[in-house]
Amino acid sequence: MSINPWPFINGAYGASVLFLAGAGWLVFKRYRRARRRLAQAEA
Amino acid sequence: MNENVLAQGRTAAKGGWLHYFANPGRFLRIVQPALPWLAALSLMLTVTGIVWGYEFAPADWQQGNAVRIMYVHVPAAWVAMAGYAALAICSFFSIVWRHPLADIAAEEIAPIGAGFTALCLVSGSLWGKPMWGAYWVWDARLTSVLILFFLYLGHIALVRAFDNKAHGYRAGAILALVGAINLPIIVFSVQWWNTLHQGNTISLIGPSKIYITMLYPLLVSTLGFYLSFITMVCTAICAAINERKTSALLLAAAERAP
């Protein structure tokens, strides 16, 4: 009997979406914080 | 700065553009306005590629629906390798010309590249279980990609291991350049050794062994992953430059204070 591939497909796509969204969000947050701190330091 | 610029007051005749764009301030002025556009384009292409691969691409006659994992696994693998090549190129510029932007770029590429490599390993394992009956085998392709992941981790750790940042950058650059030998090993591992991992399906110099209904979503997904990587790295570099500027301003203010 062949194994049902859908849990593995869902896992691979879930990991991809989580990684891309998570990493993108973390980088964006860091960028926003860096810009805000620079603006405060320049003021 | 390049020695020609210092000695002669002009950019070098050969590769002058390179030194021109290696200025962190100039990089910030050029790249920062493009970031929202890059982010929008990468989001659009990645979502299109993922949805196309998951929902609309046809199942393979042999692998069935498990082939859908290819639309995230293969782009992640290509980005992981391209990211390491970019890391090695930045390291070369850092060692030869000591460009500060090359050091910053190398430091920011490594964690993002490591993330894509981890994604490649995880999605590959999830493909391996229904296809091979095992999450992991010590196959040449899998092992060489695992080594790539460790090289990324080594670079991340080494750059941050020194009190003097310049020493960390130099040690990391040497590791990245030595580790670049792993890239051709990954690419040719399926030809040099008898591996369980399948051979190259897509070729730049010959006919590809993939039908267009599968090739198009793969290309869109790949383009989306590449653009996502570029956008993340550029954003991280801009953040790092801004952080350095803030530190310099605060330090100058502290030194001026009575």
Measured between CB atoms, does B82 come within 8 Å of chain A? Answer: no
The pLDDT value given to residue B258: 74
Question: Is position B138 within any domain?
Answer: yes
**How much is the pTM?**
0.91
Question: Is position B121 within any domain?
Answer: yes
Distance CA B111, CA A23 (A): 10
The pLDDT value given to residue B2: 47
The pLDDT value given to residue B6: 47
Question: Is position B55 within any domain?
Answer: no
Residue A11 has pLDDT above 80, yes or no: yes
Residue B23 has pLDDT above 60, yes or no: yes
The pLDDT value given to residue B15: 65
A26-35 exposure pattern, b = at least 16 Cβ within 10 A, e = fewer: ebbebbeebb
The pLDDT value given to residue B194: 86
Q: What residues form DSSP beta bridges with B181?
A: none
Chain A nearest-CA distance from B131, in A, is 9
Distance CA B168, CA B223 (A): 33
Domain span holding position B132: 69-217
The pLDDT value given to residue B13: 54
What total number of domains does chain B contain?
1
Question: Is position B189 within any domain?
Answer: yes
The pLDDT value given to residue B22: 82
Lowest mean pLDDT among A14-18, B153-157, B205-209, B235-239: B205-209
Q: What is the pLDDT of residues B195-229, one digit of tens each?
A: 888 877 777 677 777 888 899 999 999 999 999 99
Measured between CB atoms, does A36 come within 8 Å of chain B? Answer: no
Mean pLDDT, all residues of chain B: 91
Region B186-194: what's the mean pLDDT? 90
Region A22-36: what's the mean pLDDT? 97
Residue B254 class from Cβ within 10 Å (0-12 exposed, 13-18 middle, 19+ buried)?
A: exposed
Q: What is the pLDDT of residues B64-108, one digit of tens each?
A: 999 999 999 999 999 999 999 999 999 999 999 888 899 999 999
Distance CA B63, CA B131 (A): 7
Q: What is the pLDDT of residues B39-67, one digit of tens each?
A: 999 999 999 999 999 999 998 888 899 99
Residue B176 has pLDDT above 50, yes or no: yes
Containing B85, the helix (H) or strand (E) segment is helix B70-97
For chain B, the distance separating the N- and C-terminal CA atoms, rounded to the nearest angstrom, is 33
For chain A, the distance separating the N- and C-terminal CA atoms, rounded to the nearest angstrom, is 69
Q: What residues form DSSP beta bridges with B64?
A: B60
Note the Cα B117 to chain centre separation in Å. 9
Chain B residues near residue A23 by CB distance under 8 angstroms: 112, 115, 232
The pLDDT value given to residue B14: 62
Residue B4 has pLDDT above 60, yes or no: no
Chain A residues near residue B69 by CB distance under 8 angstroms: 8-9, 12-13
Measured between CB atoms, does A19 come within 8 Å of chain B? Answer: yes
Of residues B256 and A30, more confidence is placed in: A30
Half-sphere exposure of B208 (CA within 13 A, CB side): 13
Question: Is position B239 within any domain?
Answer: no
Question: Is position B1 within any domain?
Answer: no
Half-sphere exposure of B102 (CA within 13 A, CB side): 26
Verify whether the Cβ–Cβ distance A15 to B119 is below 8 Å. Answer: yes
Residue B244 class from Cβ within 10 Å (0-12 exposed, 13-18 middle, 19+ buried)?
A: middle
The pLDDT value given to residue B173: 97
Region A19-33: what's the mean pLDDT? 97
Residue B5 has pLDDT above 50, yes or no: no
Question: Is position B6 within any domain?
Answer: no
Residue B3 has pLDDT above 60, yes or no: no
Of residues B235 and B203, more confidence is placed in: B235
Question: Is position B141 within any domain?
Answer: yes
